[in-house]
Structures are given as structure tokens and as C-alpha cells.
Amino acid sequence: MSDPVLELRDVCKSFGALKASDHVSLDLRAGEIHALIGPNGAGKSTLIAQIAGSLAPDSGSIHFDGQDVTHLGASARARLGLARSFQISAVVPGFTVAQNILLAVQARAGRSYTMWRKADDMASDQVARWADMVGLSDRLGAAASDIAHGERRRLEIAMALAMRPKAFVLDEPMAGMGTEGVSAMTSLLDPLRLQAPILLVEHDMQAVFALADRVSVLVYGRIIATGTVAQIRRDPLVRQAYLGDEA
Ligand SMILES: Nc1ncnc2c1ncn2[C@@H]1O[C@H](COP(=O)(O)OP(=O)(O)OP(=O)(O)O)[C@@H](O)[C@H]1O
């Protein structure tokens, strides 16, 4: 099996006496969606912040794409190809959908696009490609401030895709969505794992069960189980601590 794209080893983080991350080890492998689930206050956001680089662990290590990134900041990790979406949004409300995607295309291309006459054509091809992939082709001219909640989520995914990341960290993509929105987002995320593996933090269990190749369950800062959806659903400890009748 190839090396994991992202690997946490024994990560610990305390806030005073509270152990928000208690010796957490988990990995994200090429081609997979790995869901991180757990009750409110289990420590999911704290873990995501440490993965993204906005919060430093007290101990333990984080490797990304073969490098030890434990002491790198969030922007350095983003430059290495770690795309985090949803809780920190890069969408500019006054720009159109196309302009927002173009921002991400240009950020990815750096200066190279500005140096060629064909730059505009190449950039608009890219914008069209990513918009098409998330189903926003007919919304390119709409202002980001005017589009619906679900469309904004899709725009954020298009922007993340345009950065050609090596891994996605998606923080509750289904939050605030109704049944139809959840089902549309599930269909959209499903093939994304082929572009880059996804660490998915999500409360919507139907979406998690439909999408995840593996699930890790976090309770009081500790991973109590990691396994396939079937293994997690029948794990007595998980049922007792979190899933209950939902399993
Ligand atoms: N900066 C902080 N200072 C003190 N305590 C914190 C801080 N950040 C988080 N906590 C505590 O750490 C624990 C884990 O919080 P965290 O937000 O990571 O959980 P979560 O699983 O993301 O919850 P939710 O699903 O509700 O978002 C909670 O008890 C929370 O109160």
C-alpha cells in the first residue's frame, strides 16, 4: 500500500485540564474519503485546526505528502496542497462566480498566466472546467453574494479544485442543507476522491454512510474506532458512545 497522503501520529492538545486531542493517530490514503465523526465537543474542530496548521499540537506529529509539517503554518500547508474548505471561506461576495474561480486558478498558476498572450483563454478554459465539474456552468455571471447556500458550497469546492490540491479537508459540507441539498452534495463529493483524498468532518450520518471508505470516531478527544462503514455501524462501543439507534 502507498504511503498515506496525510498522517497524524499521537497528536495531543489540551486546553487547561481538558484533553481536546488525546493521542490521536489517523491517516488519509490516496483515493479515499475518510470521515471523522463524533458528538459535539469531541474535538473535531480542534483536530482540523491542527491539521490545517492554525493550531499547534502540544505533542505528536503531522506528516503531509511525505513531509513533516507539524511546525508549518496554515499558508505553507495550503501551498503544499492541503485544501481546507467551508469554515474559512475564500469566496469574495462582490465578485461573480467566474471571477471567484479565476482567483483560485490564478493563485494556483502564480505569475505564469500573466506572462503569456494566451493566458486569458487558458484561464477561462480552466474556469469553465471547474464550474462544470460542480454544476455551476449556468451561474458564471451571478454575483457570489446572490447565489444560494448550496451553490456557494459548490463554488467553494470549485475554488478548492482549481488549486489542484493533494488532499481536501472538508468541514461539515452538509451543514445548513435540506435533504435535497445533502443528496446533491453527496453526489458531488463522491467522485472528488479521485482528484484528491478527502478528510470529511460531518454530522449528517446518511451522507457519511453513503460516502466514506473509512470512518474514525472521536469521543472526548480520543479515536475510539476506525473502520469501514459496516464495521463502525456494528461496533458496540461506537453505538454506545455515539451512534445509538442511528446505526
Ligand atoms: N480555544 C479553546 N479554549 C478552551 N477550550 C476549547 C478551545 N477550543 C475548543 N475547546 C474545547 O475543546 C473541546 C473540543 O472542542 P471542539 O470544538 O474541537 O469539538 P467539536 O467536536 O468540533 O465539536 P462540534 O461538533 O460541536 O463542532 C470542547 O470541550 C471545547 O469546549
- pLDDT tens by residue, 124-147: 889 999 999 999 999 999 999 999
Residue nearest to atom 26 of ligand 1 (CA): 40
Per-residue confidence (pLDDT) for residue 124, from 0 to 100: 84
- C-alpha separations of 219 from 22, 42, 82, 197 in Å: 10, 5, 25, 24
Scanning the chain, the segments in alpha helix (DSSP H) are 44-52, 74-80, 97-109, 119-133, 149-162, 179-189, 205-211, 229-234, 236-238
* Tens-place pLDDT, residues 65-90: 999 999 999 989 988 999 887 645 67
Residue 118's pLDDT band (cuts 50, 70, 90): low
**Other CB atoms within 10 Å distance of the CB of residue 112:** 11
* Tens-place pLDDT, residues 45-69: 999 999 999 999 999 999 999 999 9
Separation of CA 81 and ligand 1 centre (Å): 26
Domain with CATH 3.40.50.300 in the chain: 1-81+165-247
Second CATH level (architecture) for the domain 1-81+165-247: 3-Layer(aba) Sandwich (3.40)
Mean pLDDT (the chain) is: 90
Separation of CA 46 and ligand 1 centre (Å): 6
Per-residue confidence (pLDDT) for residue 83, from 0 to 100: 87
Residues with CB under 6 A from ligand 1: 15, 18, 20, 38, 40-46
Separation of CA 47 and ligand 1 centre (Å): 9
pTM for this prediction: 0.90
